[in-house]
Structure 1
Amino acid sequence: MMNVRSYSLGPVQTNCYIVSNKEKECIVFDPGEEAERLIKTIRSNGLKPLAIFLTHAHFDHIGAVDAVREVFDVPVWIHEKEVSWLADPTKNGSSKYAALPDYRVAAPAQDTIIKKEQQFEISNFVFQAVFTPGHSPGSISYIFEKDGFAIVGDTLFEQGVGRTDLLGGSTKILLESIHNKLLTLPEDTIIYPGHGNYTTVGSEMETNPFLNGF
């Protein structure tokens, strides 16, 4: 049974998830900001990070990547379509906000670029990386089928869906991703979004106003 810790970080309260096992190993998803807080939390809980996985490369999901990667010496995984976004503020969106610094993150090595949907097996972490574009062209959802949850970034929210007015966004593609990749999961699957509260597939099927009539 995996333990999922959630931390709302940075100026727009982006959810970072730390998924850990009984052996105190962990995987960090979307370390968006507040690197010192994350590093302290990992150390104080006696956790050993094995990797960082990104749902997409908008600035609020990548701000602490370099610091966490350097301290724990772990690989960073990201969709191939958004590798160039990491160091480009015009693509990752940080250049749109004068109050924010330009977010520039070092690109991962070639062998940590996700080019196709695939299953990852890292220690006893087993999960699927499925492509759910629409919010951004390289958005990925990570589905822990055996453990009954999915980390979906800004694709699907409680009573909402991801915005599509940013670079490479598409409402049509987003809704197709949600219906074809997420709503096909068991209804009791927990959805961990990039912002806000967690929800379930069944709850969103029944009550999410953005999905009605698709």
Structure 2
Amino acid sequence: MKIIELQVGQLGTNCYVVYCEQTLKAGVIDPGGSAEAIIAEIKKANLKVEYIINTHGHADHIAANDAVQQATGAKILIHHEDADMLTSAQRNLSMFIGGGIVCQPADQLLSHNDTVIIGSIELKVLHTPGHTPGGICLLSDKVLIAGDTLFAESIGRTDFPGGSYNQLINSIKDNLMKLADDVEVLPGHGPKTSIGWERNHNAFIQ
């Protein structure tokens, strides 16, 4: 699995383009803005984007969904508990930050332990509610794309509607802390980390 990393939108969301080297089939994870930059990277690598996957439904992770979908024909995937956030500016919080972002509804709804196949890549869906009810992480071999569930020495906010601190901590402990120390964590904001580093240094989950 190859990964192109971009910082997009006003809040510096980490968008990841994952692709299979053999087939050039790809998935775009959390296109939260900067649609032109994302599309340029896709064209530059000659990728065939099959899926747009949102780790959750907040505006800074979905804002470029429609533009990327129009450019690629990809299907939009999101956990079923966050699906209505795509079509509601109130639910995705954009109406509160001077926007009003609404997207096309999802083409496919995800659940815990689903697998998304992209060429030779298998992305396992881990439902990790707490930041939002339908927050997910995506696991492939030794890489975890964590959305806003787990950050470097921090965790996602839980003070938004639908958030729960206790639920988020339980999600991390029950799903992520069972992974091997050498699993690389690619969060929705900020620098990379690893499961081992967070296990030993993240004060929220000690």
Same structural fold, with TM-score higher than 0.5 when normalized by the shorter chain: yes
Q: Which residue of 1 aligns with 2:115?
A: 119
CA distance in 1, matches of 2:165, 2:112: 22
Q: Which residue of 2 aligns with 1:149?
A: 143
Q: How does 1:87-98 map to 2 (within 5 A)?
A: 87-98=87-98
Are the aligned partners of 2:111 and 2:125 in contact in 1 as well (CA < 8 Å)? no
SS at match of 1:186: coil
Q: Specify the code of the residue in structure 2 equivalent to 1:186.
A: A
Match of 1:105 among 83, 100, 103: 103
Bigger mean CA deviation after superposition, 89-98 or 27-36: 89-98
SS at match of 1:151: strand
Q: Which residue of 2 aligns with 1:28?
A: 28
CA distance in 2, matches of 1:186, 1:144: 12
Question: Aligned-pair distance for 1:117?
Answer: 2.7
Match of 1:185 among 171, 174, 179: 179
Q: Specify the code of the residue in structure 1 equivalent to 2:121.
A: F
Question: Aligned-pair distance for 1:121?
Answer: 2.5
Q: How does 1:1-214 map to 2 (within 5 A)?
A: 2-23=1-22, 24-98=24-98, 101-109=99-107, 112-145=108-141, 148-212=142-206
Are the aligned partners of 2:128 and 2:168 in contact in 1 as well (CA < 8 Å)? yes
Question: Aligned-pair distance for 1:204?
Answer: 0.4
CA distance in 2, matches of 1:204, 1:156: 9
Bigger mean CA deviation after superposition, 166-175 or 15-24: 15-24
Which structure 1 residue ranges, 5 or more long, are not aligned?
none
TM-score (norm 1): 0.93
| Structure 1 segments (4+ residues) deviating >4 Å | none
Aligned residues between the structures: 205
Question: Aligned-pair distance for 1:40?
Answer: 1.0
Q: Specify the code of the residue in structure 2 equivalent to 1:134.
A: G
CA distance in 2, matches of 1:81, 1:152: 17
CA distance in 2, matches of 1:31, 1:42: 12
TM-score (norm 2): 0.96
Any idea what the Cα deviations from partners look like across 1:53-112, whole Å, max 9, x if unmatched? 1100000000110111111111111011111111211110111113xx211001023xx1
